[in-house]
Structure 1
Amino acid sequence: MRRGGDSGGGGPDPNPGTREWTVMVYMAADNNLAVQGILDLDEMEDAGVTGAVSVVTQAEYNPDALAQYQCDASCW
């Protein structure tokens, strides 16, 4: 699992311009799938986007499930 800020991108583009597509992902991983949810977000980041695509995510996690893997808020 990545630690916050490891993407190397320095955050979102403050002026992304017009995109042909926007992909929105809502992830309810506040259960036993919390760790897999973080890994899924890592995969989306690794896939990258083009100038024509924006990806927006919102995710929720169960802190108790993440604690089993020694993962806290710094994991995302």
Structure 2
Amino acid sequence: MAEIAGFGVTSDAFHLVQPHKEGLGATKAMKMAIEGAGLDIKDIDYINAHGTSTPTNDRIKNNGDQEFIW
């Protein structure tokens, strides 16, 4: 069982079909979710990454997650 404690939503208007190359929208949404839950990045043990399995989107997603992993 899981509890949704916070969520974050952004609109990345960088390009019509791909997000910003540094993953800024994803990073902002993750920060919003963590802050909305009243948590700190250090409290996160697991990230379930959404991946489209395309080289461009996988690289962008990885860039967005780096702030939370390291």
Q: TM-score, normalised by structure 1?
A: 0.28
Larger radius of gyration: 1
Query: Greater relative contact order (Cα 8 A, min sep 6): structure 1 or 2?
Result: 1
Larger proportion of helix = 2
Larger proportion of strand = 1
Q: TM-score, normalised by structure 2?
A: 0.29
